[in-house]
Each structure stands twice: as structure tokens, then as C-alpha cells.
Chains A and B, each alone.
Chain A
Amino acid sequence: MPRIHLRVYVEPEQAEVLCNVLRSDGTYERLAAVVDTGAAVSLMPNDLLNKVAHRLGKRGSFIVEQAGIANQSFQAVEGYVMLMLEDEYGQRTSPFEVLVWFADTKVALIGFADVLDRAILHIDMLDQRLGWLQIDA
């Protein structure tokens, strides 16, 4: 299983991973995504819908209830994309299919469905300020 190093930042604290999302033309769109253990499903900005190759999920366009701040909801399009994770040290996964929600957001999140639920996640903020995602892909 490839071990993909995360990019760990402070102020604000977050861990990111470089995602490469397969586009309609066969190349990969590069996207810095926040690793979010609170996200059941990965989230992507909806302007990528017309750039990346995808197939619609069962729910198609739907409302996500109780997302983020309580009592808030947002419109999303459920789809599947081909994703490849990579780090600056040359480690990369094979492309694998991931369930994502496309929504009106400025931040891309990597969540559990098809990614974190098949990975070992390690983050060391105390000593080395580094992290990695070892994933079965």
C-alpha cells in the first residue's frame, strides 16, 4: 500500500493531500484537498463538474441536511470520480473510484467513503508535524 505524505500546516491547522482527478480529456486535474475525518463523503467544488470525468450517483442532485453548521443544508450532486493521490516524494496511488458530492464550496475535502475507510491515517503534530495516509489503492 503506498504511503502518501500529507502536507501539514499550522495557523490554520490542517492536513492536505494532493488529489489528481481524472478529467474528460484523460489528463488529471490537480487539487489540494483537506483531510477531514468529520466528512462521511468527499466534497468538491461544483465548478469541477464540467471539467472532470464522472458518473452520477444514485441520488443525483439532492439536499444534504444538517451539514456543517447545525440547521444548515446545501444542494449537492452525487457522483463518482477517478482519483489518484500523490506526494512530493514520488509516492502515488493507482487511480481509484471515489464517491464525491459536488457542491457550492471553495474547499475540497477528503472524507471516508472510498478513501479514509480504506486507509491508515497518521498525523504527528507534536514532534515532527507530519502526516501520511497509507491507502489500499
Chain B
Amino acid sequence: MDTPRIRMGHAYGETPPNVFSDFDWIRHHEKELLEKYGECSIIVYKEQVLGVGTTYDEALEDAERNLPPDVGVVTPVHERLHHRQPFFRVYPTAR
């Protein structure tokens, strides 16, 4: 669930400060990210894409590979990029 340098979990009360800004960044750049990567899992740290993959685990492995050798432990966020539906629920009229 983690890689040697990527920590996706944190202790209670110790949420890394980048978590909020990184989720925000993904939301504000969702359209560009979808155009570039398509629907996929994405790992983001300090407003930079570290890794992508078809699954969460693949994205994590990609992020670990892409981390420069001189970078230590990072605490990114994971998001599942997807095209949004305008409505979660649609009920057609009775037939």
C-alpha cells in the first residue's frame, strides 16, 4: 500500500499540509489532466503529477519510479480521474 518513499497513510492528527492543496489542485486542473492522461489513477504531490496508472497500485509504482533519486519520503494524494456525469441519478418517466 506504500512504496519505499511514498507514504499514502498518516497518523491521526498528522495530515500532511499538502493534502488539501493537492486535492484542490486536481479539482482545478481536472479538465487538463483528463485530456493529458485520460481516465486513470493519478498520484499528485505539491501540485505535480508523480505517477499515473490504470489502478491505484500501478500509479503508485509509477510514482516511485519517477521520483528523483535525491528525493526522500513524500506524502502525495491519490485521485481517480474520470469524466463526470451531470447527474448521479436519472429516473425516466414511467413507461
Contact = CB atoms under 8 A, between A and B. Distances in A.
Q: A and B, one complex?
A: yes
The size class of the interface chain B forms with chain A is 20 to 34
Interface string B4-44: 00011111110100011001100100000000000100000
A100 B80 CA distance: 18
Contacts of A9: 27
Please report whether the interface of chain B is mostly helix, strand, loop or mixed according to DSSP.
Answer: loop
B10 A28 contact: yes
Nearest to A86: B15
B90 interface: yes
Interface residues of A, number: 34
Contact of A28 (B9, B57, B91): B9
Contacts of B8: 29-30
Interface of A: 7, 9, 12, 16, 18, 20, 23-30, 32, 36, 38-39, 45, 47, 50-51, 68-70, 84, 86-88, 92, 95, 106-107, 109
Interface of B: 1, 7-13, 15, 19-20, 23-24, 27, 39, 55-57, 77-82, 84, 86, 88-92
